[in-house]
Structure 1
């Protein structure tokens, strides 16, 4: 598309730029061939996964032989809080619960390809739990759970979908994995991600494409897409994801589950792998994913322990504040139907209007809010911060690897010489302004002085946003989540639309996702008139990405100020209750 645009609009300049582009790509291809050994590890990793899933099936069979009359359906239907209570009271055996989820996860994986590894040590952990006194049992005693691929588990790879990270098993469990196990949880599988995890599709050359359980032609989102798909189909009851630009929230919205993006340093990030480390402007954080809000609260309650602080002293010991979560005082809620940068789909806007009406009827105060300087925040600060090194670290991790289709567009742009990026940005400025600005920011900040200026600008914008929030005396904020689910391959074509989630990584606010409705036939009909705010390729691709979505889940984002996770969850619980009581959309 870019080639056609350049040649039709500026023939001579277009030819020159395409020649430069071709030379740059040829050089990159030659370099990749010279370092091909990394990709040679992929077939071995694929065979290891096959063996691991066979071991998982064997354990499920072994557990079933111990309880041949087991009916997993009633167990799988239990909410997490009730399941945890029954396990504590010994109304259910540890074996029956683990067996039920092992079997179900295997079924889900056959349909949507969401698992990357089986954590065979779960059997040993189950036996250890049985020896505990009742007084020693943690809040998640006996609860099987899933972990996103980058969570370090001893003797298992944390791949980030990269060949370079294969055959480098973790020497020990990460901090959060240790805390979860200390609380009695039984991590039993790892789940799929997009290559590098800087994508909201869910595909990599090692483990392939994960599918959306509601529509197999659509993506489950990313980068915690395997978690979203597994939870949505009931193959797990609790999972852990990570979020750099919406990676917990996008899969939750696409798959109809609940999630919480925590403030940076509320939960430890030690022992979680990453393709790009060292970024200070854009916060990467850990957070839970589940099938209701109470599950998220229980998980956070378990994680916010003194033990986590002991393992990672950089994380303050702030126990879960029950009085905030269970408060019933009316809230003062800001809302916006659009962020002003990407026009929402009809269903996204309707979900916010519906939720506002339900909240008002329940006695809460709802006030209109507009996002300040959104173009500046996304283009200059978020993209500029994410690629402050010009993509050098990301490209280094991809050396010798197969570049997945979900990453090809951004990798191609990053590999362009800076001069080509600069000239292309100038050409595209008036016809593809968002693409032009992205190209400009992909050049990186160049000097330490400019990096410090960028960090300062992020801090100043955060304070500007908070001041506007406080001027309206808001408790919380309600905004659209990006949904419904996109067709596979489209996230790379619709990067600008991720502004709905990435803004809050820049601000470092806690954000929860709550499903509130589904796409209606009327939403689909209104989509035919969708134009977008810029009329560019992103707007056209967005319309195509969300077409054919009748019946797919639609969510909203519930936002609080930094370190106010309990208030965020309390707001989410209110929205969840009201949405469930209002019935099916017409």
Structure 2
């Protein structure tokens, strides 16, 4: 009826083929131009961000040069070699000035970032903070200590990019709570460090600021997502840094770079002002924590942060100060231990380090008890991955809208882009041959209803109860376990997302966990690696063996360390149910 009326109103015309072709070509040309303009706009944002970074580098280099001209006799190596506790003592007593220490570390940081690309941006306001702490009546616990912070921890006047183009627009309007407390304790934030695109990778690369390299071997990754922190501290350009951890992002860079790192219980330190690309994930929470060269540095940092200032600025943080009595205790402990979780068997060197540490702990008078974490396969696929891909990965994929996907993330992004039905179908096909890959794809399919999400949250609570019951049954004080390492060749972390089973467990449990190095790779470890079969002999096992065989080929690997146990005879990765 309507079509007939339109025919009566409109004169009949024959369609001109040339006009239609012209219109089609014009539309195609307009689409191409529009796409080009969009890419050009993105390119301009990236170029501006790099230009701002380069200007900051030049400004800091000039400031360092001026200081050098004024004070040419500074013994740089002597200052850089001081442990944090000794450095704070020297600063407080006045035998070292905060200005000398700041410019010494700035100079070293410039050198390290030139080699590894670990600093995303220097903080010129560090010179203002230097003046501010000298006016303070009381010297805080971190008085005069230069400190580096991860990219997404807000500092007033600077971007928190998360490695994404869409975050290159608006600088932070104020400091995060953590930065405010650090400044009140006398610390001087001087650098913001590089991260992987979207933070969801344990490599460290993004299209805007590029790839960060391991300072011990530039073919290797420093880990991630706190990879810039790991590289800067391991290279000697920072003595203390703040990272974040949602699946191992403090502990993995600590492992790859041979550092000490602590993931506290989530919200033990304020998260206010520390943005994440996908907000609202509450089943498994992010935690901020320190990274440094030794355990005492981590402890000092926690003492400084767990103060009345933190509790007042963020009332959601439990007002519980650092427990010095527990930390200083020499009482014998009952320690559970395991060297594999059964889901992703680690290289022989990592397991050996746990056994070496077990022997050292026993010799020191502690009691070691075999412990097996329950159902890690279930935790990885049904609890951890489904938390982050509850929507099938749509919110995460939206982060890349109008952006270039970093090559190190392409395999993860491509898996997420498969339609839900396709993921389920592929999972069914792969299940008989490669069950881990099948379950991984199935988990990426996400959840279909609120009821299913509620049930998922209940499963996490039930698992925590089960784990704690087993812990209490064995009357454990602490657990000694392995962590992923040694350092992977750049690009490989994106191909082995589920290799982080050794770290993600303690995010799901919301237990504090720490990492410290104890050993180096031996020739015997290299020989044993030739016999490595993994647990499923699937592509993941083969890839892990390949990346470990790509280590230097000698007795030492990328970072000269085989694993992360605990220094001072503590353990490879430790967790407490606090």
Q: TM-score, normalised by structure 1?
A: 0.89
CA contact (8 A) 1:494 1:539 kept: no
Aligned residues: 534
Q: 2:474 aligns with which of 472, 486, 494?
A: 472
Equivalent residue, structure 2, for 1:85: 89
Q: 1:546 aligns with which of 545, 548, 567?
A: 548
Measured in 1, the distance between the counterparts of 2:281 and 2:355 equals 36
Equivalent residue, structure 1, for 2:24: none
Structure showing greater Rg: 2
Q: Deviations over 1:400-448 (max 9, x none)?
A: 0000011111111111111111111111112222121111111111211
Equivalent residue, structure 1, for 2:218: 216
Equivalent residue, structure 1, for 2:267: 265
1:41 aligns with 2:60: no
Measured in 1, the distance between the counterparts of 2:155 and 2:63 equals 19
Aligned pairs for 1:398-477 (under 5 A) are 398-477=400-479
Q: 1:30 to 1:455 in 2, by over 3 A?
A: farther
State the 1:243 CA deviation.
Answer: 0.4
1:147 aligns with 2:149: yes
CA contact (8 A) 1:239 1:288 kept: yes
CA contact (8 A) 2:383 2:508 kept: yes
Equivalent residue, structure 2, for 1:575: 570
Q: 1:61 aligns with which of 62, 65, 83?
A: 65
Equivalent residue, structure 2, for 1:171: 173
1:236 aligns with 2:244: no
CA RMSD of aligned residues (A): 1.7
State the 1:576 CA deviation.
Answer: 7.5
1:171 is paired with a residue whose SS is coil
Measured in 1, the distance between the counterparts of 2:49 and 2:547 equals 32
2:335 is paired with a residue whose SS is strand
Q: Deviations over 1:531-550 (max 9, x none)?
A: 11010111000011122253
Equivalent residue, structure 2, for 1:284: 286
Equivalent residue, structure 1, for 2:116: 112
Measured in 2, the distance between the counterparts of 1:63 and 1:125 equals 16
State the 1:346 CA deviation.
Answer: 0.7
1:357 aligns with 2:359: yes
Measured in 1, the distance between the counterparts of 2:563 and 2:180 equals 32
State the 1:309 CA deviation.
Answer: 1.1
1:348 aligns with 2:350: yes
Equivalent residue, structure 1, for 2:130: 126
Measured in 2, the distance between the counterparts of 1:60 and 1:52 equals 12
CA contact (8 A) 2:147 2:241 kept: yes
Q: 1:100 aligns with which of 79, 86, 104?
A: 104
Measured in 2, the distance between the counterparts of 1:378 and 1:32 equals 39
Measured in 1, the distance between the counterparts of 2:229 and 2:283 equals 26
CA contact (8 A) 1:32 1:399 kept: no
Measured in 2, the distance between the counterparts of 1:34 and 1:54 equals 31
Q: 1:163 to 1:427 in 2, by over 3 A?
A: same
Equivalent residue, structure 2, for 1:274: 276
Q: 1:70 aligns with which of 70, 74, 84?
A: 74
When structure 1 is superposed on structure 2, of 194-203 and 426-435 the one drifting more is: 426-435
2:516 is paired with a residue whose SS is strand
Q: 1:67 to 1:330 in 2, by over 3 A?
A: same
Equivalent residue, structure 1, for 2:206: 204
Gapped regions of structure 2 (runs ≥ 5): 1-31, 573-578
State the 1:39 CA deviation.
Answer: 4.8
Q: Deviations over 1:241-272 (max 9, x none)?
A: 00011000000000001000000111111111
Q: 1:152 to 1:203 in 2, by over 3 A?
A: same
Equivalent residue, structure 2, for 1:384: 386
Q: Deviations over 1:50-84 (max 9, x none)?
A: 11111111121122223111121110000001100
State the 1:310 CA deviation.
Answer: 0.9
Measured in 1, the distance between the counterparts of 2:36 and 2:427 equals 30
CA contact (8 A) 1:114 1:227 kept: yes
CA contact (8 A) 2:349 2:563 kept: no
Q: TM-score, normalised by structure 2?
A: 0.90
Equivalent residue, structure 2, for 1:191: 193
Measured in 2, the distance between the counterparts of 1:455 and 1:576 equals 31
2:344 is paired with a residue whose SS is coil
1:169 is paired with a residue whose SS is coil
When structure 1 is superposed on structure 2, of 494-503 and 259-268 the one drifting more is: 494-503
Equivalent residue, structure 2, for 1:297: 299
Measured in 1, the distance between the counterparts of 2:403 and 2:33 equals 12
Q: Deviations over 1:352-405 (max 9, x none)?
A: 000000000000000001110111111111111121121121111110000001
Measured in 1, the distance between the counterparts of 2:565 and 2:514 equals 6
